[in-house]
């Protein structure tokens, strides 16, 4: 009976899962998964980069995510220390105007590669009601998926613990990379 219930919940969960497979111009594939259908993916290819925006389909959800995927010829972030430092340097411009005041890089919990993000809160919006398109929090970061695949991440929402933010963060942390020529064997 337990096995039947487990199978039921697994199948029920997959009914509500939304996914997007990205072909990375000969550098492999990236699969993104969201746990509900309340999101819309927009993918645009610009030669040397892939731009992905994820926005809500429901008017009462105030969050968004952007991914910029590039294919560097030289691996400048071949270890996590270099990548962490880069994320903190990039974050300083936002930190000056945030409640945090400084960029502190936190590790993404990834199954493929390594990455970091900094979280920032807009001090002018604390305690105010949500306003569509005006976000109280933002996370920005970088993920080193492979030596030739780098993902720049931006997640905007009305709180780091909000359901929309957590769904987008879960999508980022749950993404699956398949190297070129793998045919999906690593998934």
Task: Write out pLDDT tens, residues 142-163.
Answer: 999 999 999 999 999 999 999 9
Based on C-alpha coordinates, what's the Rg of the chain?
Answer: 17
Top pLDDT among 48 and 106 is at 106
- Compute the average pLDDT of residues 119-138: 93
Mean pLDDT (the chain) is 88
103's CB contacts (< 8 A; 6+ apart) are: 87, 88, 89, 90, 91, 92, 94, 95, 118, 120
pLDDT-derived band at 36, boundaries 50, 70, 90: confident
Phi/psi at 51 (5° precision): -110, 125
pLDDT-derived band at 8, boundaries 50, 70, 90: very low
Dmax over CA atoms of the chain, in Å, equals 56
- Compute the average pLDDT of residues 26-55: 92
Top pLDDT among 73 and 35 is at 73
pTM: 0.86
From 36, 38, 68, select the one nearest 55 (Cα to Cα): 38
* pLDDT value of residue 6: 40
* pLDDT value of residue 17: 65
Phi/psi at 71 (5° precision): -125, 75
pLDDT at residue 186 tops 90: no
- Compute the average pLDDT of residues 30-43: 90
Per-residue pLDDT tens digits for 95-118: 999 999 999 999 999 988 999 999
pLDDT-derived band at 3, boundaries 50, 70, 90: very low
48: Cα within 13 Å, side-chain hemisphere: 2
- DSSP strand pairing (176-178 vs 29-34): antiparallel
| Range of weakest confidence among 15-29, 32-46, 123-137 | 15-29
pLDDT-derived band at 181, boundaries 50, 70, 90: confident
Q: Domains of the chain, with CATH numbers?
A: 17-178 (3.40.1000.10)
pLDDT at residue 50 tops 90: yes
């Amino acid at each position: 009976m337990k096995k039947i219930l487990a199978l039921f919940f697994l199948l029920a969960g997959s009914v509500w899962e939304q996914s997007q497979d990205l072909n990375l111009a000969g550098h492999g594939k990236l699969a993104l998964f969201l746990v509900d259908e309340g999101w819309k993916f927009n993918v645009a290819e610009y030669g040397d980069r892939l731009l992905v925006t994820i926005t809500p389909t429901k008017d009462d959800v105030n969050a968004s995510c952007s991914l910029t995927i590039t294919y560097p010829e030289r691996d400048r972030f071949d270890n996590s220390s270099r990548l962490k430092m880069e994320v903190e340097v990039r974050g300083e411009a936002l930190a000056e105007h945030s409640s945090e005041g400084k960029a502190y890089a936190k590790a993404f919990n990834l199954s493929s590669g390594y990455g970091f993000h900094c979280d920032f809160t807009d001090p002018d919006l604390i305690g105010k009601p949500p306003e569509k398109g005006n976000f109280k929090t933002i996370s920005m970061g970088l993920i080193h998926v492979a030596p030739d695949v780098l993902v720049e991440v931006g997640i905007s929402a009305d709180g780091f613990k909000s359901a929309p933010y957590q769904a987008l963060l879960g999508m980022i942390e749950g993404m699956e990379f398949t190297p070129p020529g793998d045919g999906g064997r690593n998934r």
